[in-house]
């Protein structure tokens, strides 16, 4: 679960992202299409170099990593040196009008980052993603120190924001309007806190429900989107659900 937009405005406004090189963006554009907006973003999709000397270095590094990823997709992930306290394997489902569902994607995630994906009905896209996922992890790892420093500076300048974020990380509480609390649920033996919000699309209400686990840094183990039926009731339209949580040994 994430803090409200109002709480995070100061933090988000400090992180600027100038456009990435056109050739690289064109080559990778299809990899990010049809991604669901609620999920953690792939870092490579949001990465862009800043102007000046750093722009040339970063762009060159990105192209170099892309070439390496194509040549050695299995070994590239190990170069990042990234370790995570836990990973979550899950699946995304799309519901049809008759209530049946189809699995669109299997994915492995950590808080804020998608590590890998598999698309059951699209082997070409799966093969493409197996190249891009290690590259995504490498770029996430390279930029982590700068992001951590910037976040620390912003939170030090905004103690109320830092306090609010610490409270949300600890309790997974309601981040504020338009979210409301909807109770508790146990998922994969983890206690979760449910929050919900409703908005309107094409004149009809859409309802999002999120179940986050305080013991897993408020990671959302279940997300559902429901749309309004002609009789006024909600029906499932999309769902993410965790299938397995793997705790990794800490050093």
Least confident stretch, 223-227, 229-233, 247-251: 247-251
| Nearby residues of 213 by Cβ (< 8 Å), 6 or more positions away | 172, 187, 190, 191, 192, 219, 221
When pLDDT is averaged across residues 49-74 and rounded to a whole number, the result is: 50
3 contacts 195 by C-beta, under 8 angstroms: no
Query: For position 67, what pLDDT does the model report?
Result: 56
Alpha-carbon distance values, 11 to 144, 147, 217 (Å): 16, 11, 19
91 touches 97 (CB < 8 A):
no
131-153 confidence digits (pLDDT tens)? 888 888 888 888 888 888 988 88
* Cα–Cα distance list, 109 to 115, 162, 221, 245 (Å): 5, 25, 11, 10
How many other C-beta atoms are found inside a 10 Å radius of the C-beta of residue 88? 22
> Is residue 5's pLDDT more than 60?
no
Say if residues 89 and 106 touch (Cβ distance below 8 Å): yes
pLDDT, tens digit (0-9, with 9 covering 90-100), for 152-189:
888 888 888 788 777 777 778 787 788 999 999 999 99
For the cut 80, the answer to whether the pLDDT of residue 192 exceeds it is yes
In this model, does residue 227 exceed pLDDT 50?
A: yes
Angle CA 235–236–242, to nearest 5: 155
In this prediction, residue 97 has a pLDDT band, given cuts at 50, 70 and 90, of confident
208 is written with which tokens?
A: 């999002």
What is the pLDDT of the chain when averaged over all its residues? Answer: 76
**Residue of 85 and 59 predicted with greater confidence:** 85
Question: Rounded distance, CA 52 to CA 243, Å?
Answer: 45
- Of the pLDDT bands very low, low, confident and very high (cuts 50, 70, 90), residue 64 is low
* First and final C-alpha spacing in the chain: 27
Look-up of token digits 């800490």: 250
Q: Give the separation between CA 90 and CA 105, rounded to whole angstroms.
A: 8
């Amino acid at each position: 679960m994430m803090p409200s937009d109002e709480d995070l405005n100061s933090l988000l406004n400090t992180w600027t992202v100038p456009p990435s090189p056109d050739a690289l963006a064109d080559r990778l554009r299809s990899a990010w299409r049809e991604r669901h907006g609620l999920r953690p973003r792939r870092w490579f999709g949001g990465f862009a170099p800043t102007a000046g000397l750093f722009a040339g270095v970063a762009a060159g590094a990105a192209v170099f990593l892309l070439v390496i990823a194509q040549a050695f997709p299995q070994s590239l992930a190990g170069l990042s040196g990234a370790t995570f306290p836990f990973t979550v394997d899950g699946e995304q489902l799309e519901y049809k009008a008759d209530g049946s569902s189809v699995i669109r994607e299997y994915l492995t995630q950590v808080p804020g980052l998608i590590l890998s994906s598999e698309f059951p009905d699209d082997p070409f896209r799966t093969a493409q993603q197996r190249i891009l996922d290690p590259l995504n992890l490498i770029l996430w790892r390279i930029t982590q120190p700068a992001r951590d420093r910037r976040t620390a500076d912003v939170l030090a300048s905004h103690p109320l924001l830092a306090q609010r974020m610490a409270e949300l990380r600890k309790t997974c509480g309601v981040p504020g309007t338009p979210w409301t609390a909807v109770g508790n649920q146990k998922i994969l033996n983890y206690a979760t806190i449910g929050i919900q919000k409703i908005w309107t699309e094409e004149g009809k209400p859409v309802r999002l429900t999120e179940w986050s686990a305080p013991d897993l840094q408020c990671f959302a183990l279940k997300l559902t989107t429901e749309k309004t039926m002609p009789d006024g009731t909600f029906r499932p339209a999309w769902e993410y659900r965790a299938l397995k949580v793997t705790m990794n040994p800490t050093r």
